[in-house]
Structure 1
Amino acid sequence: MNRIWIHVLIYVLLFTFSIQEGMAAEDKQPVTNSEAVILMDGKSGQVLYEKNSDKRMYPASITKILTGIIAIEQGELEDKVTVSERARNVDGTRVYLKEGEEVPLKKLIQGLLMNSGNDAGIAIAEHLSGSVENFAQVMNTFAEEKAGTENSNFTNPHGLFNKDHYVTARDMAKITKYAMQNETFKEIVGTKKLKWNGEEWKTTIINHNRLLWRYDDATGVKTGWVTKSGHTLVGTAERGGMELIAVVLKAKNAEQSYREAGNLFDYGFENYESAAIPAGTTYEQDGVVYELEESLSYTRKKGTVMTEKVTRKGYLLVEADNGILTTGKLSKVSETSGEPVGTEKGEEVKDKDLSWKDAIFQWFASLFSTK
């Protein structure tokens, strides 16, 4: 009789903990009223929250994220760029370049990304590609081939309105993920202040992205505004080894864009964590030893139990309870004479973490078990 009550107690405790776990799993969703938003893990690329993330939107000056990373990768930062009449007379925000002025390319990139200089954007485009029109072709090719964009189109380097110049929140997150892997880009967008000594303008530039002051873990990136786009913002933040990217499109005002980006970051840091499997990790399946070719990053909800499976064709699947999170390519290293490993023929299952429910049950069972 006592053993029956012990088992009843165990299952009551498990049921209670399950309810609590279920309530915790129903995490509070971030409040977002902007037209399109997305939250992406900057390492794994996994999307943690989204709303209208594939809707075509007008980006305004967050376009300059793409212009900046192209300039850094394809230009020589110490090159002297001669400012044209077209650059000098462009509309909108400027760094007040003088026609004929010679400016180092890196300085133009700083003026582009920190002070949103449209004149700097034109000067960069003409220097690298000969014309704005040619540079737009470079932008589209670069975005697709390097960042993997699928539903965006660029017609200029600065983001002034053009009906054929559009992006999606998802594509902007992809572009930013790619750009933030470059240390020069990351340094520039994370700089709060910069002395500017131009021929016609001498000042201290204050980064337009006030998220750098408003969110403690912010690391970048860029704001934008034109009438058709509303307020746009791409922000990045890092905490505890986790990197997040938030894209907010068509907010009513700057305050809303900063608040919603902060809400997205809080949601990501509070509910998720980043993990990685190092390159070179080995797995044995059906007598064959495989090795992971490249480091594999993924993002999981906190407390989630993960499994790793090797398929019959030699691919690694990283899974959570709700499905596959990511896959990795394995290379065949050698063959052994050992028996197949795993719970199913053709698959190896490696439980990285023991479920807390299993652990509790095993602990209780060990206390009260009899031989």
Structure 2
Amino acid sequence: MWTKPVPATALLAAVTLTALAGAPAGASADPASANPVGGDLLGSRGLVVPEGVKPPPKTKATSFLIAEAETGHVLAAKDPHGRYLPASTLKTLTALTLIPKLDRNQAIKPSRNAVNQEGSAVGLSTKATYKVHDLFRALMMSSGNDAAMALAEANGGLAKTMRDMNAEAKRLQANDTVAKTPSGLDKPGQSSSAYDLTLIARAGLANPDFRRYISTKTAKFPAPKKWYEISNHNKLLWRYKGMLGVKNGWTSKAHGSFVGAASRDGRTIIVTIMRHEGYFWEEVEDLLDWGFSARGKVTPVGQLVDPLPAQPDPAQQVTAPSSQPPAAAPLLDSAAAKQTDTSRTVGLAVIGGGLLFGAVWLGFGIRRRRNKARL
């Protein structure tokens, strides 16, 4: 759903901006871009909140973002474009990328490499065969790193899956995101941001299969000899009213991260936190409560941008014989094939139901930019 952006002058007049002295721990020391995706105010390394309302509850997270899914309005944020290690919240991008590409009933026999992945695992065996549907459950419910690798292998291998994931990030305009693993296990150069993870979650919520996987509390999972039960690691599915799920993550380097969405009265609030060093569940509940109380009552501080149009897969295109010389490859096809640590924004505005290239969103200053990766 596209909502007309609020003029930048109105935003500046209605927002309190608290700048931090110096970059937060875990992020690049380079200053944020003056023109970030989603609006100028989202370039702050500090707290950005609307005036006239009580600020969001305090959280120990270094970075967070609160947004309304239907409108894309960003209600409040702190260092939203700061680049951090995403841990298992990166599995949201893995699922969003691979769900449309894999047959849910396809049978998969995982490799020894897949079953021996370090960290959280669902317990895959090289002696068993699993359906893709079961592996997605293991990925999003039990945060199985073994399931992530098995799905990557089913997609044609790790290298291809990384290309696909990074191309999907570019399509979403999640320009702070660089995927190096399908599981979110720490790897040099890998990054995401609270803004990007919220973009990914919003896109995932529009996919019925993605939504089903993240909201399933318990499920039967196959094993070589018998089935056993797996449960969702998202504690809020059991205790927060309207909780839809999404994904939590943790590594010793990334610390705690979480993306959660909840719906009440036909409206969905998304809360994303990154680099939290403690127990964050109650803090997330408080942030969600604040989001529900603020929606529709405050001037948004930014906007979740819409995805770029999907580009056809050249490998699946059939070209009719022609006497004319082949046309040059479209610019976006060439760009999507290359993922670097350089953040770029393609100028795009969505008007009504159509797409207009080259337009500049004056309200939030969404335009071409380059940021050095901040990890």
How does the TM-score come out when normalised to structure 2? 0.65
Question: Are residue 204 (structure 1) and residue 229 (structure 2) matched?
Answer: yes
Alignment of 1:62-141 (within 5 A): 62-129=89-156, 131-141=157-167
What letter matches 1:108 in structure 2? Answer: L
Give a deviation string over 1:20-53, Cα, whole Å, max 9, x none: xxxx933243222211100111112111110011
Deviation, 1:211, is: 1.4
SS at match of 1:267: helix
Higher helix share: 1
Q: Kindly tell me: are residues 220 and 75 of structure 1, through their superposed partners in 2, closer, same or farther at Cα, counting changes over 3 Å?
A: same
Question: Are residue 261 (structure 1) and residue 284 (structure 2) matched?
Answer: yes
Give a deviation string over 1:237-263, Cα, whole Å, max 9, x none: 00111111111111112x32x122212
- Which residue does 1:158 correspond to in 2? 183
Give a deviation string over 1:330-350, Cα, whole Å, max 9, x none: 89xxxxxxxxxxxxxxxxxxx
Give a deviation string over 1:89-117, Cα, whole Å, max 9, x none: 11111111111522100100000100011
What letter matches 1:239 in structure 2? Answer: R
Give a deviation string over 1:281-315, Cα, whole Å, max 9, x none: xxxxxxxxxxxxxxxxxxx539xxxxxxxxxxxxx
Q: Is the 8 A contact 2:218 2:231 kept in 1?
A: yes
Bigger RCO (CA 8 Å, 6+ sep)? 2
Identity %: 28
Q: Is the 8 A contact 1:84 1:100 kept in 2?
A: no
Alignment of 1:240-251 (within 5 A): 240-251=265-276
Higher strand share: 1
SS at match of 2:100: helix
Counterpart CA distance in 2 for 1:143 and 1:94 is 25
Within the candidate set 170, 188, 191, 2:216 is matched to 191
Structure with max Cα Rg? 1
Q: Kindly tell me: are residues 200 and 120 of structure 1, through their superposed partners in 2, closer, same or farther at Cα, counting changes over 3 Å?
A: farther
Alignment of 1:44-55 (within 5 A): 44-55=71-82
Give a deviation string over 1:103-158, Cα, whole Å, max 9, x none: 100100000100011110000001112x212211110001211x221111001100
Q: Is the 8 A contact 1:97 1:201 kept in 2?
A: no
What letter matches 2:175 in structure 1? Answer: E
Counterpart CA distance in 2 for 1:100 and 1:65 is 28
Structure 1: unaligned runs, 5 residues or longer: 1-23, 274-299, 303-325, 332-371
Counterpart CA distance in 1 for 2:261 and 2:125 is 33
Q: Kindly tell me: are residues 102 and 44 of structure 1, through their superposed partners in 2, closer, same or farther at Cα, counting changes over 3 Å?
A: same
Question: Are residue 301 (structure 1) and residue 326 (structure 2) matched?
Answer: no
Q: How many residues align structurally?
A: 256
- Which residue does 1:342 correspond to in 2? none
- Which residue does 2:257 correspond to in 1? 232
Within the candidate set 31, 34, 40, 2:61 is matched to 34
